[in-house]
Amino acid sequence: MIPPTISNLEYLAQFDDADDALVAAATIGTPPAILPRLRTDADGRVVGVILPGDADYAR
């Protein structure tokens, strides 16, 4: 699974059913974009994914 999907599923897990999730979604409006970045080592090799909120995620 890709990181944005995981984040969305973690958010949805707090609701008992789809109706509750839809009601909550209507109150928050458009959600922020989840824009993962690649983590690289000193040689430029990809070693992981960084998500907004991670300590080394910078805009």
Q: What is the 8-class DSSP label of residue 17?
A: S
- Residues 9-54 have pLDDT tens digits of 998 999 999 999 999 989 988 877 888 899 999 999 999 999 888 8
Chain centroid to CA 52: 7
Per-domain residue ranges of the chain: 3-50
- pLDDT category at 8 given cuts 50, 70, 90 is confident
Q: Helix, strand, or coil here: 42?
A: coil
φ/ψ bin of 12: left (φ > 0), alpha (ψ from -120 to 50), beta (otherwise): alpha
- pLDDT category at 7 given cuts 50, 70, 90 is confident
As a whole number of angstroms, the distance between CA 21 and CA 51 comes to 23
